[in-house]
Amino acid sequence: MRKKIIAGNWKMNKTPAETVALINELKPLVVTEDADVIFCVPAISLTTALEAAKGTNIEIGAQNMYFEESGAFTGEIAPNMLTSIGIKYVIIGHSERREYFAESDVTVNKKVLKAFEHGITPIICCGESLTQREQGITIDWIRQQIKIAFLSVTADQAKTAVIAYEPIWAIGTGKVATTEQAEEVCKAIRECIAEIYDEATAAAIRIQYGGSVTAASAAELFSQADIDGGLVGGASLKADFGKIVNYK
């Protein structure tokens, strides 16, 4: 039985002081034993967030990480900088990183391998554009993203990974995918993992849906057979996130 995993992606929002205030506001609302709860905050607030979340069920995650150990990579964050402060999760290959910061399937794969090397759980993002959906190539596109992201990843590592299926047209648009659309793709992702590895790996890996998830849509989405939780943007910055975490 897979444990649900519900993560907030705060994106480029909240100063360190605002981060503390929001964690204090949300911490009584996100108490649950049924799901892992992760707040992925901006890098500058990671330490502050860890401190604010101490003694709660909230885990703090990063939104990005570089695939080299150290060196002349101005502005980047090394994996051991994350592990040294106690970070266990990192979002990799969000569509905004792919669109605005030129991340590719190849760099996503490098980052995924590096995260595993350091014992950090990657939340690996995939998703199609509206054009791709209209062209009927959604599943082919997602399968390609998954196959490249998992190149050279072992089955034991893959079992612990998190995949976030986020249709780009549903991100920040208020246009949530239908339950059928979300489940269809999440199921196809699990089948792709079974093809690359085996049934046991496919059964273990956790797959989230992301894209305009709200308190109103969470329950139906998260009760689908292949949807193990969500990666939530806008609604993770509000008290609503408590309702999403406690969706049942």
Catalytic site residue 118? no
Q: Which of 70, 172, 223, 248 binds ligand 13P (CB under 6 A)?
A: 172
Site for ligand 13P in 49-108 (CB under 6 A): 94
Taking the complex as a whole, the smallest distance from the CB of residue 184 to ligand 13P amounts, in Å, to: 19
Structure tokens at 151: 């190149």
- Are 223 and 209 in contact by the 8 Å Cβ rule? The answer is no
Where in 7-36 is the site for ligand 13P (CB under 6 A)? 9
- Rule CB under 6 A: say whether 211 interacts with ligand 13P: yes
Residue in 5, 26, 108, 231 binding ligand 13P, rule: CB under 6 A: 231
Residue 245 neighbours by CB under 8 Å, 6+ apart: 6, 29, 30, 32, 35, 37
Q: What is the DSSP string of 98-166?
A: HHHS---HHHHHHHHHHHHHTTPEEEEEE---HHHHHTT-HHHHHHHHHHHHTTT--HHHHHH-EEEE-
94 given a catalytic annotation? yes
Can you tell me which of 171, 185, 207, 245 binds ligand 13P, judged by CB under 6 A?
Answer: 171
Number of residues that bind ligand 13P (CB under 6 A): 14
Count H helices and E strands in the chain, helices first. 12, 8
Stretch that binds ligand 13P, among 50-58, 135-143, 180-188, 225-233 (CB under 6 A): 225-233
Would you please indicate which residues are annotated as catalytic (active-site) residues? 94, 166
Contacts with ligand 13P, residue ranges (CB under 6 A): 9, 94, 166, 171-172, 210-213, 231-235
